[in-house]
Amino acid sequence: MHTTYPLTAIVGQDRMKRALILNAINPQIGGVLIRGERGTAKSTAARGLAALLPPITAVADCPFSCNPERPDQLCFQCLELTNLVSAPTVEKTTAFVDLPVSATEDRVVGTLDIEKAIQEGQKHFEPGVLAAANRGILYVDEVNLLDDHVVDLLLDSAAMGVNTVEREGISVQHPSRFVLIGSMNPEEGDLRPQLLDRFAHAVDVTGIEDAEERVAILQRRLEYDLDPDGFVSEWKARETSLGEQVIAARRCYHEVEYTDRDLYTIAALTTNFGVDGHRADIVILKTACAQAAFEGRRQITTRDIHYAAELALPHRMKKQPFMEAGLHPDHLQKNLEEAEAQAQQMVDSDEQATEDVEGTQSADEKKVKRTMTRV
């Protein structure tokens, strides 16, 4: 049995690991695109994330690994069970599905047997990759070489959490909630801007230049190659701790609160960077809530928004001629401070307008707090 290199043993690449962890907390953030040269731990990190997560409990014999504790996320087969509570369950490892770049649409979404449906009146569905990846991780190496239409399907399912297959007036729907991870080497070509924008997070990784860290990478890799099981055992405590932290964050994610001031800050920040559309605003909010949940907090802060913007903005910024790719930390911090000031002005203006209408209601009473809906 192959032993997976631990995620926590990867030296550096903190932003990449953070993006993976936050998407594991809430897969509907929308996926991670990892761009970088060969040998920068892209695929190692993706596999390490799957190995980090604890086993899942699923309905026995369900090809979609439905969660018996979430009746709102059941497949068409589990919905037909007369008593879901008493249905047998099994424990499964978190799925890691590696999608080849040659994958066709039918291979990804699954196929319906139209002839059997017409003749026998039964919905015979052959599950595809999206079914196998439900509640797990779907990894696409060289995603820039995958057919654009297939990439669209993957991104749709990652965002919606549902896969729908329709043929000749017959429709089948099943849960498809997974962490979508794409990786690519920019030297082999880029994604179209329309597809690039639909990845919630994009992280650029490069080889580490610090000599001490390069030595640490070399030493750990040699130790792993010499004794994989022993190396994994050495890192098991850290892996278990991080996995438990992710699961705890999943449970409390929908309890994380944000205020109107946070929304104004996010909106002002994306406006200051000239980001088109509104996808970035939504991604930043979801990511900030996941970051707060990961740290065990029930309220997002400006720091959470900062972390979220680092992942959500670089691939959405308009690039001018001769402009370097990426997002400079000082530029982000300056724009975030300006966004905070603008947000405070908007909140003050709203409160003044409310006072004019409602009288002397206290500021605390007027502060609006909201939470993310359950995922």
Terminal CA-CA length for the chain = 33
C-alpha–C-alpha distance, residues 339 and 262, integer Å: 10
C-alpha–C-alpha distance, residues 26 and 10, integer Å: 22
Buried b (16+ CB within 10 A) or exposed e, 252-275: bbeebbbbbbbbbbbbbbbeebeb
Catalytic residue selected from 18, 47, 198, 279: 279
- In the annotation, is 316 catalytic? no
Angle separating helix axes 14-25 and 228-252, nearest 10 degrees: 50
C-alpha–C-alpha distance, residues 267 and 350, integer Å: 16
Phi, psi of 178 (to 5 degrees): -145, 160
Phi, psi of 299 (to 5 degrees): -145, 130
* Nearest CA-CA partner of 19 in 38, 5, 34, 6: 34
How far is CA 361 from each of CA 38, 352, 356, rounded to the nearest angstrom?
60, 11, 10
Contact call for residues 42 and 144 (beta carbons, < 8 A)? no
- Residue holding tokens 């439900």? 134
C-alpha–C-alpha distance, residues 81 and 92, integer Å: 21
Half-sphere exposure of residue 234: CA atoms within 13 angstroms, side-chain side: 10
Give the active site residues. 279
